[in-house]
């Protein structure tokens, strides 16, 4: 199985639970990846801060970024006053389902219900973090 985790509200909210969970799932033969909003570069930095350093450093876990995906897709994007990138709502909320479809991910664990409806159309199960923890 290929299983994706979100960072904000999932990994960064419950690092002490998610870390061993990822290790266990890997030991059971599953492939783990991260699907999250910020650029891959930013995600790398954030994961280092919460001691997910070894997992990402050894490339045991692939990281897929919504922002990078939208830029690569040629979607119109802009930055707010703080320099955070934005896209229109429809493109943004469909993006995680598109990423999961592209990379044949079976499950995604996320904290934002707004991503869920796009998963009705593809062969990937959306699990809200509250259903898990």
Q: How many angstroms from the chain centroid is the CA of residue 64?
A: 6
Q: Which of 56, 111, 116, 122 binds Mg ion (CB under 5 A)?
A: 111
CB 79 within 8 A of CB 60: no
The single-letter DSSP state of residue 100 is H
Distance CA 13, CA 1 (A): 24
The verdict on 6 binding Mg ion (CB under 5 A) reads yes
CB of 6 or CB of 55, closer to Mg ion: 6
Question: Site map for Mg ion, 8-47, x if CB under 5 A?
Answer: xx--------------------------------------
CB 44 within 8 A of CB 68: no
Q: CB under 5 A: which stretch of 1-9, 25-33, 74-82, 90-98 binds Mg ion? A: 1-9
The verdict on 128 binding Mg ion (CB under 5 A) reads no
3-class SS of residue 107: strand
| Residue numbers at the binding site for Mg ion (CB under 5 A) | 6, 8-9, 111-112
């Amino acid at each position: 199985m290929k299983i994706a985790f979100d960072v904000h509200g999932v990994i960064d909210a419950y690092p002490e639970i998610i870390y061993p969970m990822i290790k266990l799932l890997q030991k059971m033969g599953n492939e783990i990846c991260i699907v999250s909003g910020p650029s891959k570069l930013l995600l790398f930095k954030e994961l280092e801060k919460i001691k997910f350093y070894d997992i990402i450093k050894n490339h045991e876990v692939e990281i897929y970024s919504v922002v990078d995906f939208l830029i690569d897709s040629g979607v119109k994007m802009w930055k707010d006053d703080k320099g955070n990138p934005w896209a229109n709502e429809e493109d943004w909320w469909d993006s995680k389902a598109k990423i999961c479809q592209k990379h044949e991910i079976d499950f995604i664990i996320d904290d934002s219900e707004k991503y869920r409806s796009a998963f009705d159309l593809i062969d990937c199960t959306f699990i809200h973090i509250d259903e898990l923890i």
